[in-house]
Amino acid sequence: MAPQRVASIDVGTNAIRFLAAEFEDGARYRPIEETRLALRMGHSVFNGEGIDPAMAEAAAQGLSQFSRRMKELDVARYRAVATSAVRDSPNRRSFLRRVRTVAGLRLEIISGSEEIRLVHAAVRRRLSMGPDPWVLVELGGGSVEVALANESRVLWCETHPMGAVRLLELFARSAKEPRGFARLVEEYVATIRLPPRLTESTATGFIATGGNIEALVRVKSGGEPGEVPARLSRDDLHQIARTLSRMSVEERMLAYQLRPDRADVIVPAAIVYEHLAAMVGADGIYVPGGGIREGIVFELMERLAARRESRERNAVDDAATLGRKYSFDEVHARHVARLASRLFDQLRVLHGLGARERRLLAAAAVLHDVGDFVSFKGHHKHSLYLISRSELPGFTPTEMYVIGNIARYHRKGSPSILHPDYALLSPVDREKVRTLAALLRVADALDKEHRQKITDLRVTVSADSVRIEADGADEVLLEQWALRKKDDMFRDVFGRDVVLATAGGAHG
């Protein structure tokens, strides 16, 4: 089973953005598709009209394409949000109905405070914020959100209707004369008033997000794709703003490889950022990358992970209930299950299995020693017998047979078609048993003494080996010996030697 995929859609003022991703672990994701539709939804809205009908239809058709792609990519969950332009449009309800009809999507209008909350969800994973407050600024096409936030939450937030597109539309008549336009924007932005708690705060730093600040990083690098995370000093920003304000839109596009719909709004954006940085006394601006789309993706995956963890917790608890019938060592069993799950997660790049298989492994790990109730000699075979003839909520009879076989191979011989209980499985299930039993053998070896010496582990995969670094134990000689006795199946399945070391680096 492939890792679960999620998607986010951000219907912004200047463009519609789509991101589909799958997670490598709880903190990193792999983008599988990113698309940007250059539709300036705010053009007519900020001129006092609603969303232009032709623009609304183009947006609905574009969202319909995203809807189809989500089905093709097997996306498990999505969230589609609309920000300032749709929020301020008098015909927003008819637009939402059209999107539902054409694209089959539920488009949600969010507030400025929800925008900054989603931005924070992305930023805190890219930048170590700590407990002290940072100034966090998200500048979009229609509004600018200014907040105080730390690692855990947004402490305060305020929205101002001064987005880059809105400012461009407001002073459109002066936009053809760059210097005059810049002066008008500066005067207008100067009307922003921030509360004393922000201007007088001893904030850790100033964080800026959005496409405009990333484009300003590109300008600083001379038109080359700017690396993020990045930092712009206030002097950098001042010089960039002055340089760009003396250039036409066409000149900016040519000099810095900017898109037309970025080249025209980048000057008001630079002015807003510079003014806010000056107001709070920041010497520089941190640009971590990420924004609303990334925040949505992280939150969707957290919900899926919580649901998965709940199901797996239930599977472990139900398996433990069964294990108590056979007077098993519950502390050892649960610890082996946790170590096996950690191995499973960190070796996903090698085995490619999913959440269902993770639960099979967890249940088998909890129950691997229940055969001791019958006899220690040959207890792995007794475990297979007891498990395969038992029931656990959430597992089919076939899956109970798979769980029993995984437990059966936690020691002694490797799976063989000559073993009747293994031969009864389908080819797909046999391969699952081989892979998961190989992980279970390693996890069981790591708690050889049933003392839970190894509290956690980190895995590094190379071309010819898998290195396990163990936390919590000063020496792991007995575990290294146990691993050497049981690593043959791991080598057969994954084509790599497995090596155990302590956090200090001693190899097995």
Q: What is the pLDDT of residues 403-453, one digit of tens each?
A: 999 999 999 889 999 999 999 999 999 999 999 999 999 999 999 999 999
What gap in Å lies between CA 143 and CA 185, rounded to an integer?
Answer: 14
Do residues 83 and 100 touch, judged by C-beta distance below 8 A? no
pLDDT at 465: 94
151 and 254 housed in the same domain: yes
Assess whether pLDDT exceeds 90 at residue 43.
no
166 and 283 housed in the same domain: yes
In a domain, 342, yes or no: yes
229 and 283 housed in the same domain: yes
Task: Say whether 114 sits in a helix, a strand or coil.
Answer: helix
Task: Render pLDDT for 327-348 as a digit per residue (tens, 0 to 9).
Answer: 999 999 999 999 999 999 999 9
Task: Render pLDDT for 51-76 as a digit per residue (tens, 0 to 9).
Answer: 999 999 999 999 999 999 999 999 98
In a domain, 398, yes or no: yes
What gap in Å lies between CA 82 and CA 443, rounded to an integer?
Answer: 47
90 and 165 housed in the same domain: no
81 and 183 housed in the same domain: no
What is the residue-averaged pLDDT of the chain? 90
Residue 215's domain is classified under what CATH number? 3.30.420.150
Name which of 370, 372, 346 is nearest 470 in CA terms. Answer: 346
Assess whether pLDDT exceeds 50 at residue 1.
no
Could you give the number of structural domains in the chain?
3
Task: Render pLDDT for 90-138 as a digit per residue (tens, 0 to 9).
Answer: 999 999 999 999 999 999 999 999 999 999 999 998 888 999 999 999 9
In a domain, 439, yes or no: yes
Count H helices and E strands in the chain, helices first.
23, 14
| Domain termination site, one of 64, 84, 110 | 110
**What single string gives the DSSP state of each residue in 49-93?**
S---HHHHHHHHHHHHHHHHHHHHTTEEEEEEEE-HHHHT-TTHH
Domain carrying residue 43: 5-110
pLDDT (average), residues 461-468: 94
pTM across the whole model: 0.70
Assess whether pLDDT exceeds 90 at residue 323.
yes
In a domain, 234, yes or no: yes
pLDDT at 26: 54
pLDDT at 48: 82
In which band, very low, low, confident or very high, does the pLDDT at 504 lie, cut at 50, 70 and 90?
low
pLDDT at 290: 87
pLDDT at 178: 66
218 and 84 housed in the same domain: no
Task: Say whether 302 sits in a helix, a strand or coil.
Answer: helix
